[in-house]
Amino acid sequence: MKYIFLLVKRFSRRNWHKFFLKSLTEIKSVENLKVLNIGSGGPIQAIIESSLQGSIINIDIDPGRKPDIVMDVTSLEFDNNSFDLVIMMEVLEHVKEPKKALSEISRVLSCDGRLIMSTPFIFGIHDEPHDYYRFTKYGLKYLLSDFKVKIQETNDFAHTIVVLVGRLLKSKLRKDKIIGLAILTPILLAYPIVFIISKSINCNNITTGYFVDAKKK
């Protein structure tokens, strides 16, 4: 069960690391890079610190995550134009006032500064009770009106189905786990066929989430 869930987790981030590393590669040549990492700890923070040179400040509203500074993204205690890059992965859905948060990020970003972020779309509720929103790509474009935006789906149709069913494996109910395993097993065994079928389905609106690379106007 544990290994199947780990495999599902890899599916959920199948393209995510590729997009993230590509965006970091494009900006890491900037000299004296000033980076603000918002709420992205663990492996994400490790990738940031190993991929980028410069000054990196990690903030989070939760002191238990051991950020450099405990701070609310809707009220950033930094001067205007303080950072070249802001990173906010899988955070926006947990912010009660997303528009205010993005306005603050725009304020602290320098001219032509970059925002790299991701947010779920078709995905289960998590980190309860602080899971407030699911954004479409159109909603993200609206919220990011201060930016030139590139939005990429993080998964295709087949991987989205696998990830959603895989969430059942984390259920506290044994019945849910058995159902999830019963559905997932034939899908994973027939994965090459499922993958080919998925590629033939022209549906960009069925995805577990979006990856955003935005440049301040």
* 209-216, strands of its sheet edge to edge: 69-70, 55-60, 34-38, 83-89, 109-120, 209-216, 147-153
Q: How far is CA 215 from CA 94, 96, 149, in A?
A: 22, 23, 7
CB 86 within 8 A of CB 111: no
Question: Per-residue pLDDT for the chain (217 aa), expressed as one digit of tens each?
Answer: 566 666 666 666 667 778 888 888 888 777 789 999 999 778 888 889 888 988 999 999 999 999 999 999 999 999 999 999 999 999 999 999 999 999 999 999 999 899 999 999 988 888 899 999 999 999 999 999 999 999 998 877 777 777 777 777 777 888 888 888 888 788 777 777 766 766 666 666 778 889 999 999 9
> What contacts 119, CB < 8 A, 6 or more positions away?
90, 91, 92, 93, 135, 140, 209, 210, 212
Task: Indicate the pTM of the whole model.
Answer: 0.84
| Structural domains for the chain | 2-156+204-216 (3.40.50.150)
> What contacts 47, CB < 8 A, 6 or more positions away?
17, 20, 21, 24
